[in-house]
Amino acid sequence: MLARLLRLQGIDAVVLEQRSRDYCLARVRAGVLEHDVAQLMRDLRVGARMDRDGLVHEGIVLQVDGVPHRVDFAALTGKSVMVYGQQELTRDLIEELEADGEPPRFQAEGVVVHDVTTTTPRVTYRRGGAAQELRCAIVAGCDGFHGVCRDVIPAALRRTYETAYPYAWLGILAEAAPATGEVLYNSHERGFSLYSMRSHEVSRLYLQVPPDERIEDWPDDRVWDELDVRFARAGGGFRVGRGPTTEKGITPMRSFVSEPMQHGRLFLAGDAAHIVPPTGAKGLNLALHDVGVLADALVAWYRTGDDAALRAYSETCLRKVWRAEHFSWWMTTMLHVPPGADAFDLKLQKAQLRYVVHSRAAAASLAENYVGYDA
């Protein structure tokens, strides 16, 4: 996305990718785009397939005690979200970069970033068995939590904030038509569950499980049976649509922020600097917000020589990061059953859920954050 933003402004950008092209296009991850992110795809002229194949959702459903309650984004905010798989968005961007004549350099190994406190940073790597070097003006560390860029910032200059949640998500991807028209968040005494989708034919479903759960203990039949139990409605009449399971795994839940997001001419974006639990659908959207801020700052610098926006990059991004961190924490703790919770904790949690589904003001706050709040 950053490369696309910059190239449209006449700024050269090279993308280094550790994985293969096929891997990037096959890995299923996030799937909900905020309202402004979907519009950005259109503005960048890479949104045609998204508008054709994506699913516009004007709300979500919160189910409490087996009773569904719809949060109407369109009525509360005038906005919607787009359900469109991250791998599809990635495909659109990769194909556009290829059409520009400068595709990502896939399978770049042994990447090392040098000299970021100078005006001529370098990136060295190996590709196809040959040593390579890039000399550049700026290095954007969009390389994820396990990448190499964050550690380039000296430990003495970094502050890390993180928490691990006492639960995980067991997720499946299934070739089954979704039984719900919008994403369904479900609070249940046995644990949280989520019913989402990637298309009209593919469902993405999740169950709250302990963080040390073994995937081997969850054959498909057990997963489907547990989903039936948790999604059951008070008056009946709702059944989970079953189908062949094409992917299954367990995802730990945590929040993480590393500050600052810049050092010299190195700028971190996305999971390299921050992680949110997936409950609020913010990870992908935060990453794209980061690179949008960085692109604007770089355009201003190249055109006028003014580096004020570049110097303010970390501060600007972190305002939205911490808003999203709070929203994701709030959604997560409100919907998941905490291990060892006493009766008082559970009563408070239920009171919060009822307030959200019955108060227009509370529902509007959820909707505003979900469709994208510009902190």
Indicate which residues carry an active-site annotation: 57, 185, 278, 282, 370
Q: DSSP letter string over 202-240?
A: -EEEEEEE-TT--GGG--HHHHHHHHHHHH--TT----P
User: 3-class SS at 128?
Assistant: coil
Cis peptide preceding 278, ω within 30 of 0? no
User: 3-class SS at 191?
Assistant: coil
Residues 6+ apart with CB under 8 A from 17: 24, 104, 105, 106, 107, 108
Chain Cα centroid distance, residue 134:
29
The burial class, CB within 10 Å (0-12 / 13-18 / 19+), for 365 is middle
Q: What number of residues does the chain have?
A: 375
**Distance of alpha carbon 331 from alpha carbon 326, whole angstroms:** 9
184, 175, 172, 88: CA torsion to nearest 10? -80
Q: Are 42 and 51 in contact (CB under 8 A)?
A: yes
Token look-up 């904030």 returns 161
User: 3-class SS at 146?
Assistant: coil
- Tell me the sheet residues that pair with 250: 170
The answer to whether the Cα torsion of 35, 37, 42, 46 is positive or negative is negative
**Distance of alpha carbon 77 from alpha carbon 364, whole angstroms:** 7
Q: Are 289 and 320 in contact (CB under 8 A)?
A: yes
**Distance of alpha carbon 124 from alpha carbon 134, whole angstroms:** 6
User: 3-class SS at 111?
Assistant: strand
